[in-house]
Amino acid sequence: MFEFGRDLRKLFDKARESDDLGWLELIGADQVEAEARREMVDAGRVSCSAPFAGWMRASALWREHARRTGRQTSLGRAASAASDAARHTASPDQTAAAAIESGEIHLLRFDLFGGPEKLTAALADVQSLTAERPATRSAAAALHARLTARRARLSGEPSAMLDAAALLDAALHGAKGLAPTVGDDLRLERAALALEAGVARRDGRLLDQAGRDLRVLVEAASPDYRPLTRARALALAGAGLMALARLARNETATEQGRALFNAAADQFTADHSPLDWVAVQLVQTQGDTPLLALAQAETLSQEPGLVLGALARERRLAAEADLTEAAGDVAALVGLETTVRQRLTRVQPPLDWAADQIGMAHLALAKGRLMGVEPRAVGLMLAEAMETAREWGAPALVERAVLAMPEAISL
């Protein structure tokens, strides 16, 4: 995506040795994978003078590749490198740092594939750490705050969300001596928490706080150096504005939200960070994303069990059901139903199964409207999908099931 001159290449090579991995945003997912492989080979050499640092760096690179692509193999390599780092520790502080890296992998695994038990395990590990250096203690506090915020958002309990917000505030204050990427992650987490709580409770103070955090991120993240951080902040701001627009039925705010989504999408290409691209497509409201883009999003997120993959599949099925119903093509709806039903008979990861259940409900309702008959078991399909999505910590998929529920059906 980016071309470097000779002088810039020298700076780029220097950045490779830095603890701040923000430079990775300048290279595509394939290049991140190449860097991770190179670092893993170097760390494993008998001649490596600092194997602990090498394995830690390899783990962070594989983790970034997994974050961009959703590949289970990259997550596994990150975990393996973190385990190798733990075997080369020379102090309690290094042991704590390796445990923090392992916790980051658990957190990412939850973000990608769901499973709240991963958060519980990671929290238990990070709370038992004993770190010597202030920087390591700050890194542990940052991870603890982000894990707590994830759990609070899943619970939806106001007291848990307030406690999580306080932890994020403290961690952000203590992260000033850490790499800028740590502060960026904390700000994004705090903004997401404040937006969610602010919209749910119609709390202007929380919404203002989220806006301030996102403004800081957007202004600090240059599109030339931090395109992904900038895009994530813009997409989150767009999602918040669209949620408020729906509540207020404000078309101007809706258009502003769309503009933010477009700005987020303009920061990078789909091959640069496939899952970031998918997330921007899916965060838009139904009807705003063309079927072709949804099909591409599904292709880019085909890793079994991926949360974004399940959301992309469900959105694509919903869009196909709407278009086929508008065309009055009952035969095409029956064909789509047959494909989904065959997939449901096979063993699938739970979230993929839930997405197909919601998709089947969309198709059954569309066919019922065209044929003038009442579809059967739609409420049951959606109830089972909701239960599975809740169990796996995928609230976005729960929301999609709720939106698909016909008004006449009460759970």
- 270 near 300, Cβ under 8 Å? yes
Q: How confident is the model at residue 8, as a pLDDT?
A: 40
The predicted-structure confidence for 213-251, as pLDDT tens digits, reads as follows: 999 999 999 898 899 999 999 999 998 888 888 877 888
Backbone angles phi, psi at 102, to 5 degrees: -60, -40
pTM over 0.85: yes
Q: How confident is the model at residue 410, as a pLDDT?
A: 46
pLDDT of 44 over the 90 cut: yes
Q: DSSP letter for 24, please.
A: G
- 151 near 160, Cβ under 8 Å? yes
Q: How confident is the model at residue 9, as a pLDDT?
A: 47
**Structure confidence at residue 389 as a pLDDT band (50, 70, 90):** very high
Distance of CA 28 to the CA centre of its chain: 18
The predicted-structure confidence for 284-321, as pLDDT tens digits, reads as follows: 766 677 899 999 999 999 999 999 999 999 999 999 99
CB-side neighbour CA atoms (13 Å) of 387: 7
Per the prediction, the chain carries an average pLDDT of 90
Lowest mean pLDDT among 28-37, 48-57, 199-208: 199-208
Q: How confident is the model at residue 247, as a pLDDT?
A: 79
The predicted-structure confidence for 314-345, as pLDDT tens digits, reads as follows: 999 999 999 999 999 999 999 999 999 999 99
List Cα–Cα distances, 171 to 63, 144, 152, 347, in angstroms.
22, 9, 16, 42
Distance of CA 104 to the CA centre of its chain: 13
Pick from 392, 366, 274: nearest CA to 33: 274
What is the full DSSP assignment across 211-230? Answer: HHHHHHHHHHS-TTT-HHHH
Question: Which are the contacts of 387, defined by CB distance < 8 A and separation ≥ 6?
Answer: none
**Structure confidence at residue 346 as a pLDDT band (50, 70, 90):** very high
**Structure confidence at residue 16 as a pLDDT band (50, 70, 90):** low
Q: How confident is the model at residue 18, as a pLDDT?
A: 60
Average pLDDT for residues 348-363, to the nearest whole number? 97
The predicted-structure confidence for 91-117, as pLDDT tens digits, reads as follows: 999 999 999 999 999 999 999 999 999
Share of the chain above pLDDT 70, in %: 93
Q: How confident is the model at residue 293, as a pLDDT?
A: 92
- Counting runs of H as helices and runs of E as strands, what totals does the chain give? 19, 0
AA letter at 345: T
CA distance 118 to 116: 5
* The pair of three-digit structure tokens given for residue 33, joined into one six-digit string: 């994978």
**Structure confidence at residue 272 as a pLDDT band (50, 70, 90):** very high
Q: How far does the chain reach from its first CA to its final CA, in angstroms?
A: 49
Pick from 63, 154, 156: nearest CA to 112: 63
The predicted-structure confidence for 149-200, as pLDDT tens digits, reads as follows: 999 999 989 899 999 999 999 999 999 889 899 999 999 999 999 998 888 8
Pick from 123, 145, 63, 129: nearest CA to 94: 129
Q: How confident is the model at residue 5, as a pLDDT?
A: 43
